Amino acid sequence: MAKRRKLIVGNWKLHGSIAGNQHLLQQLRLNLKALDAVDFALCLPYVYLFQGQQLLAGSNILWGSQNVSQFEEGAYTSCISAAMIAEFGCRFVIVGHSERRLLRLDSYEVIATKLLRALACGLTPIYCVGETQQERDAGMAEVVIRQQLLNMLNALDDEALACAKSLNIVVAYEPVWAIGTGLHANPQQAQSMHVLIRQLISTRDLALAQQVRILYGGSLTADNAYDMLSMPDIDGGLLGRSSLDAEAFTQVALIANSLA
């Protein structure tokens, strides 16, 4: 089996400004241009996708959206469809992030539909799974991850499965208790969850399980990136606050590149 190429993704969340974005993107483009053993992407707010397309085109940094609508078109005020996102040259779209599940009450059914909309428009979904502190304390972490992942796998009919494989679908394990808290799973905890995720995917399709890149998210920084990214089933990272600082993102990128 070929070694999976690592992927480092930045999720800007509700951050950004036209002037600030320009400085950050230009700096990252410069910092990362010589790193050719790792893939990079930034998931931007909708309103900055055009700017991202203009500033990142021709670089080794891909870009994407943080969300997508479950609807294709119609009277759905403020919704943004997968086809619209694709027009901005996006490669990736984050689907089912815990902040969407918790704050916007995205149901498993809605998340599965978003996944299929993204695939149909040629976008690579970054499908997020992760347990809360309460679920982990109750010994339910693996049960929760299993339920979230089966929601994705059950949505994939043969045609969608073929799309998922050709588009190199990504899964991100983000323990909710570690997002933005400064806490993080230790490397062994994270590796264990990544192994579980890969094993579950293998029950649907072995080839997909071997190729899928599983990222760790949740306070991933330069301080813990080496230990995390050294784990055999951790194929990269989904960074939040570290993606808003060119130096912080670059340090994680350098570590990932050194491990390739």
The separation between CA 106 and the C-alpha centre of its own chain, rounded to angstroms, equals: 17
131 φ/ψ angles, rounded to the nearest 5 degrees: -105, 155
Integer Cα distance of 219 and 225 in angstroms: 10
Spatial CB neighbours of 257, under 8 Å, sequence gap ≥ 6: 6, 35, 37, 38
Residue 174 known to be catalytic: yes
Integer Cα distance of 26 and 28 in angstroms: 6
In this structure, are residues 149 and 159 in contact, taking their beta carbons and an 8 Å threshold?
A: no
Residue 97 known to be catalytic: yes
Catalytic pick among 135, 174, 184, 194: 174
Under DSSP, is residue 208 helix (H, G, I), strand (E, B) or coil? Answer: helix
Length of the chain counted residue by residue: 260
Catalytic pick among 97, 99, 135, 184: 97
**Catalytically annotated residues:** 97, 174
